[in-house]
Amino acid sequence: MFKAIVNAETLGAALDAVGVLVDECKVHLEEEGLRIRAVDPANVGMVDMELDASAFESYEADGELVGVNLARLEDIASMADSGQLVQMELDEETRKLHIQIDGLEYTLALIDPDSIREEPDIPDLDLPAEIVLEGRNIDRAVTAADMVSDHIALGVDETDELFYVDAEGDTDDVHFELGQEDLISLTPGPAHSLFSLDYLKDMNKAIPKDTEVTVELGEEFPVKMHFEIAEGQGHVTFMLAPRIQSQ
């Protein structure tokens, strides 16, 4: 069984974090909360999203696994006005999710979870550098890099204690540096990896501009980005595989 009531914005933020990478996903309706893990079709970008039971107005679940069309569910959540509540209830017989927003009832057909891409194992990497910064700085870096290139290098300058972003285009280059005073915190370590900008742009869409984002980096290793949603009662981890360095 699954029966829950949640603020529309909270639900929206949780779904958006996954929806930037995949169209459909498996949703674990655990006793402690809702959990989604997904990887994009090319196996490059992964997301792990947890929304604790405490983020809901009311929440009851016992471990069901359902398959969901994310775009559809995001559209439904967006029908709610700011601050409105969304009620969800699983009909186990018909495999449909009943969603109520005020007088509006939406019956969403679920997808067979077996027909959805396997969930990824997000590796528990021990990455040497950790940068904590505001979401708006990720947005700034991604927007600037996008002007010149389709890939982006993220790194740490251990000597000067800087987090930097490099993008090299055919004629123009972008370099973006954030020192201790621009960052919330920095744990320097050997770190420089190249990433596909397309994925970072998608992930960036789901990162609130005013949120603290923890970025973990290594040398030619994946980048991990963590941030909280639902006032700390939800958590998102993005992981992005590196591109082979062209030089």
Residues 12-51, one symbol each (x = binds a second copy by CB under 8 A, - = not), give ----------------------------------------
Instruction: Return the structure tokens found at 232.
Output: 């700390």
The owner of tokens 């600037």 is 144
**According to the binding rule CB under 8 A, does residue 175 interact with a second copy?**
yes
Exposure string over 155-177, b if 16+ CB within 10 A, otherwise e: bbeeeeebbbbbbbeeeeebebe
CA distance 212 to 210: 7
Q: Should residue 197 be labelled a site residue for a second copy when binding is judged by CB under 8 A? A: no
Exactly one of 2, 56, 59, 176 binds a second copy (CB under 8 A); which one?
A: 176
Residue nearer to a second copy on the CB measure, 19 or 222:
19
Separation of alpha carbons 49 and 17, rounded Å: 7
* Contact call for residue 220 and a second copy (CB under 8 A): no
Query: Does 92 interact with a second copy (rule: CB under 8 A)?
Result: no
What's the Cα-to-Cα distance from 152 to each of 87, 94, 205, rounded to whole Å?
Answer: 41, 46, 17
Give the per-residue contact string, 93-132, with a second copy (x = CB under 8 A; - = no): ----------xxxxxxx-----------------------
Is the CB of residue 16 less than 8 Å from the CB of residue 74?
A: yes
* Residue 184 in contact with a second copy, rule: CB under 8 A: no
Residue 140 interacting with a second copy (CB under 8 A): yes
Closest separation between CB of residue 31 and a second copy, Å? 27
Using CB under 8 A as the binding rule, whether residue 147 contacts a second copy is answered as: yes
CA nearest to 156, candidates 168, 147, 146, 165: 165
Contact segment (CB under 8 A) with a second copy among 4-12, 43-51, 140-148, 227-235 equals 140-148
Q: Taking a C-beta distance cutoff of 8 angstroms, is the pair 230, 14 a contact?
A: yes
The site for a second copy (CB under 8 A) is made up of 72, 75-76, 79, 103-109, 140, 143-144, 147-148, 171-179, 182
